[in-house]
Amino acid sequence: IKDRQKIAMPFHAEVILKGGTVVNHDGTGQRDVAVTGGRIVGVGHFAREQAGEVIDCTGLDILPGVIDS
C-alpha cells in the first residue's frame, strides 16, 4: 500500500523522570526517562499525561542502566 499512514500507538508508563540531563551512549542531553515495572521503557520527550507519576528531575543527571556496586 503506497499511501499507508503511520499510526501512533498510545504510550503510557508508570513513572516518567522528567527534564533531567540524561547521560548515555547517545551522549548528553535533556530528556525524559519512562519506567514501567522497574524497567526503562523509553528515553525521549514524553507528556506528563503519559504516566501515572511524574518526577521532576530538573538539575539532576540521569544515567539509565548504570548500577552502583
Any idea of the CA torsion for 10, 11, 14, 16, to the nearest 10 degrees? -140
Task: Look at residue 13 in the predicted model and tell me its pLDDT.
Answer: 96
Task: Look at residue 24 in the predicted model and tell me its pLDDT.
Answer: 87
∠ Cα 67 59 43 (to 5°): 55
Evaluate if pTM is beyond 0.85: no
pLDDT along the chain (69 residues), means of 10: 60 95 92 95 94 97 79
Maximum CA pair distance of the chain? 52
Task: Look at residue 26 in the predicted model and tell me its pLDDT.
Answer: 83
